[in-house]
Amino acid sequence: MTVHPLAGKPAPPDLLVNVPALLSAYYTRHPDPDDPRQRVQFGTSGHRGSALSRNFNEDHILAVTQAVVEYRREAGIEGPLFIGMDTHALSWPAHLTALQVLAANGVNVRYARGLGFTPTPVISHAILTHNAAGGAQADGIVVTPSHNPPSDGGFKYNPPHGGPADTDVTGWVEARANAILEGGLTAVRRVSVDEALAAAGVEAHDYVTPYVEDLQHAIDMEAIAAAGIRIGADAMGGSGLAYWPAIAKRYGLDMEVFHHHPDPAFSFMHLDHDGKIRMDCSSPYAMAGLVALKDRFDIAFGNDTDFDRHGIVTPGRGLMNPNHYLAVAIDYLARNRPQWPTGAGIGKTLVSSSMIDRVAAGLGRRVVEVPVGFKWFVEPLMAGEIVFGGEESAGATFLRRNAAVWTTDKDGIILALLAAEITARAGRDPGAYYADLEAQYGAPIYARIDVPTEPRVKERLKALRPEEIASDTLAGEPIEAILTRAPGNDAPIGGLKVVARNGWFAVRPSGTEDVYKIYAESFLGEEHLRRIQEEAQAMVARVTA
């Protein structure tokens, strides 16, 4: 991966987005439904785009929201719809547009009091809390492009299970939204903003208090407060900016909060690896500001803009690799949640570190390995079949202390607070904890590379069969498994994974770019990892020739 010369440096003024121009484009530019790049496209995290590129404009949100309304009607969802937004510049107007359509269609809506900002996991928590009480089922919308650059907007739909919608739902919504665009938006029902906010059933909702109060049932907040540890929390100008001060006050934590005011240009950020502003809390470049302060705190953390991801900073290691922290979280939780069922598994995506497998084996717990995408954890979490679900990109959630479901979407808040609980109760921070795991299980090296390719190769990779791989060794070790379906749920992985005793690689085509991604890991060092990567590319070349 090429690193930009300004990576990790404060964002210069000339790279800041022109927010007025962006907002103007939202209302004045209109997409061409015949241009595939300007249509509604639901990926793994909803529809994303930029008003400047004509793929996230008012027309898109009118069409998508009307499609969601019609989907709810088809699915018989009659409870309230919980809606939240993050602090990206486009989230504010898109949130208002959505409210106009929802109100015009008679949907009961709960929006944040004071038109405030709401993290993705808080919407999931609100949906599940409401639905647990019985009655008409609720669902939700989160207006966010996650950690994407400031020029982007995003729109996600969460059904009554509280987690990311599956492809059967997003496919229906996408198709209907594009049909609405093609029809010139004539199918859209809409009222003014004032009428929407005054409509019967459209209510301001206190999201903060119920979530903050309930945290004690997921995290040992008393232990954190009693230990008196010094905590640094970087809200990164995101949707949880009101939550850290509320949490610190409610539980009496010694916490210093940074960047807890909205700045739609995100001018305080340090540039990511490619020289762009990106609120990626798993990137050491984007997190350089907090890392520089690591020695001021016993534990520190940051979150991306919709607070569904976590970045853990320790005095010794700085920003932890997400895979490393997942392994620590799993080991600690399994040993400190006595009410969790011993027969429940650990959920991981197939491109997450094999350190998780070794830790789980040491705990006597089975691993449930699923394809990439947090949606695969929703049903197992709801059913209590897994106690933890995590992915390599710094997203995870876990059950309440009493083993009931907490959220079915990624929750960066509880993963950050768990780092504080570990520091308070284990007598060492998560970085030191991981060093102990390395001493017991080995020290893996993990990397991802993107290889330029063409659409033909991407389609070929999706259709691979295990028997097409002629090799019986990987970097000098016998191949133990060749996978095109995830072992945890037998779902297609959209690529290939090859596993040996001390290393593995997975190949997946990108859904948005003409590249394929090689994820690889070695427990035998840099040279072994390089051999795995080279052999992975050679295998791909042979089967796609």
Q: Interhelix angle for 412-426 vs 243-251, to 10°?
A: 30
Q: What is the largest CA-CA distance in the chain?
A: 68
Q: In whole angstroms, what is the distance from residue 231 CA to residue 212 CA?
A: 17
User: Is the alpha carbon torsion for 102, 108, 110, 114 positive or negative?
Assistant: positive
Contact 164, 409 (CB under 8 A): yes
Q: In whole angstroms, what is the distance from residue 392 CA to residue 353 CA?
A: 7
Q: Check 146, 239, 282, 353 and give the catalytic one.
A: 146
Q: In whole angstroms, what is the distance from residue 109 CA to residue 155 CA?
A: 16
Catalytic residue status for 239? no
CA 288 distance to own-chain centroid: 20
Contact 98, 156 (CB under 8 A): no
Contacts of 471 (CB under 8 A, 6+ apart): 479, 498, 535, 539
Q: In whole angstroms, what is the distance from residue 539 CA to residue 475 CA?
A: 12
- Residue 413 is classified by DSSP as H
481 residue type, one letter = A
Q: In whole angstroms, what is the distance from residue 288 CA to residue 2 CA?
A: 18
The catalytic residues are: 146
